[in-house]
Each structure stands twice: as C-alpha cells, then as structure tokens.
Amino acid sequence: MPDRSPTLQLHDAGQSLWLDNITRDLLDGGVLAGYISNLGITGLTSNPTIYDKAITSTAAYDEDIRSCHARGLSTEGTFFELALADLRRAADHFAPVHQLTEGVDGFVSLEVSPLLANDAATTISEAVRLHALGGKPNLFIKIPGTTEGLLAVEEVIFAGVPVNVTLQFSPAHYVACMGAYPRGIERRVAAGLGAHVASVASVFISRWDGAANSVVPEGLRNRLGLLIGRQSYAEYRRFFATDRWQRLLNLGARPQRLLFASTGVKDAAMPADLYVAGLAAPHTVNTMPEDTLLAYAKNGRVGSMLAVESAGDEALATEFAAAGVDADALAAQLQTKGAAAFVTSWTAMLAQITAKAGAAS
C-alpha cells in the first residue's frame, strides 16, 4: 500500500486533479476543504447540470432564492448570485495554490448561459461582466468551443479574462482552440498588455464511448474516449513546443492547459478510474465527478504517465474508422448534443428557481 493516496501521487507527477461538482453542502460541511488537504484537489468546475441538481434536489438555496426574489432580481440574475456566492467561497479555498503557482492552478469555473453558445457578441460581454462580478482572480469563465464560442474566446482572452473553453470533443476541436487562444495573447502583446492570461481547454472523454459502444465490435468498446484523450494530449504537447509559442513564452505567456473532462465512466462494467488512470499526464488537468474522485483515491491505479506520442494510436484510429466511426462527424454530433443538454439543464434550473421564488410569495 503506498504511503500517499493515488490522487496525491498523480499530483506529485504533475497532473492537477479538480472536482467536477459544487454544492452548498460541500462548502458548509467542510468536505471541499477535506478534499483539498487529504486528496490534493487543486481546483473545481461547475456547469448548468451540476447546478440544476444542486438547486432542485436540496433546500440549501431556498432562503437565498426568496431573498433575491424580494429584491426584484430576475431568475437568471438570481442564479448567478447563488452560483457566484458558492464559487467565491470555493475560490478562497484554492487561493493558496493559485498564489503558489503564480496563477497556473487553483481555479474555479462558472459557465455563461448555454443559450449563448452561438452568440459571440453576447458571450463576450457576459464573460467580462461575470468575471468582474465574481471579483476573484482565480475564477474561470466557461465558454463553449463552438464556432461562435471560439470567436468569443479570442476576444475574452484579449480582454484579460481567464477562460475555460468547454464542450470540446476531438483533437480537431482542440486544434481550433489552439488558434483562438494564442491569437488573443498575441493581440495583447501587440497592444503592450501582459501576456499571461490563464486558460484551460476542456476535452470531453467518456461521451465518446457512450456513443460508440453500441456500434463497434466488443474489442473496441470503451477504448475510443482514451484514444481521443491521448490524441488531444499529443496535439497539446506539439503546439506548445512550436516556435510561435516559445516566442510568447519568452514574453511571459503560460500555456493553456489541456483539461480532461467527463471522466466518470458510463459503462458500469468498467473500473471507475478508467479515464483517470488511462489519462495520467503531466502538465494537464483531470476534473472528475465526486464518486470518481473517491473511488480513485481509495483503489486507483497509478502507472506510467502518457507519452507525447502513444504507439499504436494511428492503427487504433484506423480500426475505429473501419468499424464505421466517423470521428469528425461524431465529434460534431457530441458537441451539439452536449450544448443541447446544458440548455435543457439550464431551462429546468431556472424553472425551479422561479417555482421556489413563487412559493415564497
């Protein structure tokens, strides 16, 4: 039995582990503080589905909802007040690691309204507004990696707002993000502004297997998500070794870290740490659901870290293509479905806030 938990061993190897969850109970009961001190968690992500569940399934937010209603806040305004109250507290928990790493780690994330996925102009203004409203340097604003979203990412990075680019599903999506982020930095340099604006690029993993398992042979099941993760990691390491990036690095820029998201297994027959142990990679982030975190901390496997290029991946990609998996088409489909799922959660959450506010009238 190792002296240090698997989560701490991954942290020691250079991978940041973040929690993909936030609730008032995590904050009020000291659970988040325990994860930080005992499991080495160094950041946190949220999304509309997480908040839909938190607000719908508990009474923890009811009093604040009534207060916001009494003050005349809109339903959406109420949500952002609730979420930012939580995220400010969480950001304070991570402030020491944010300071220690000089702004590389220790972030929390808030997503703009998912209704804006194809509205670049409003996304830009909302990202700037929400970051200022949050008032914390270690608050990421999440922007989807859609075509319009990436236009917003460049502008928001230029404005100096830290960004978590979410809903990316493929190496091609990631490469497109690697266009938007450095352009924003290069424009800052040209304008005489600082080159360090923190960012992560979130590539979703497990949904690939959820989509492909029903159409591929048994020998390929639950292997596509890990393949996509490894391919994205290779692109990540490749881009940040380029002369283009090295010039920006010399001017004070820091790499936009690759973040592995959606790392809870969809197939109950698979080990809970499938997408954690399989994507152990230095200089990256893995944000995981609470049950995945606890399972990994208890029984997780810690092996060798990912290589920049994984032998056999090209052949494996060919096998998937031969089995009928069109990776580009499936990535587009997953991104569209992911965006729609967040809209569904967002709409349900706002309806629940409206209902709870109405009950207080």
Alpha-carbon distance 150 to 342, whole Å?
Answer: 18
State the 10-residue block means of pLDDT for the chain, 361 residues long.
80 96 94 96 95 91 94 96 97 98 97 96 98 98 97 98 97 95 98 97 97 96 97 95 96 96 94 96 96 94 87 94 97 96 95 87 50
- How is residue 305 annotated by DSSP? P
pLDDT at 1: 41
What b-and-e string marks burial along 186-199, b requiring 16 or more CB atoms within 10 Å of the CB?
A: bebeeeeeebbbbb
Alpha-carbon distance 7 to 280, whole Å?
Answer: 10
Alpha-carbon distance 13 to 349, whole Å?
Answer: 38
pLDDT at 360: 54
Domains in the chain: how many in total? 1
pLDDT at 358: 84
Q: Is 142 a catalytic residue?
A: yes
Alpha-carbon distance 165 to 149, whole Å?
Answer: 8
Distances (CA, A) of 35 to 101, 249, 293: 19, 33, 9
- How is residue 281 annotated by DSSP? -
Of 142, 266, 298, 337, which one is the catalytic site residue?
Answer: 142
- How is residue 19 annotated by DSSP? E
Domain span at 187: 6-359
CATH number of the domain where residue 253 is located: 3.20.20.70
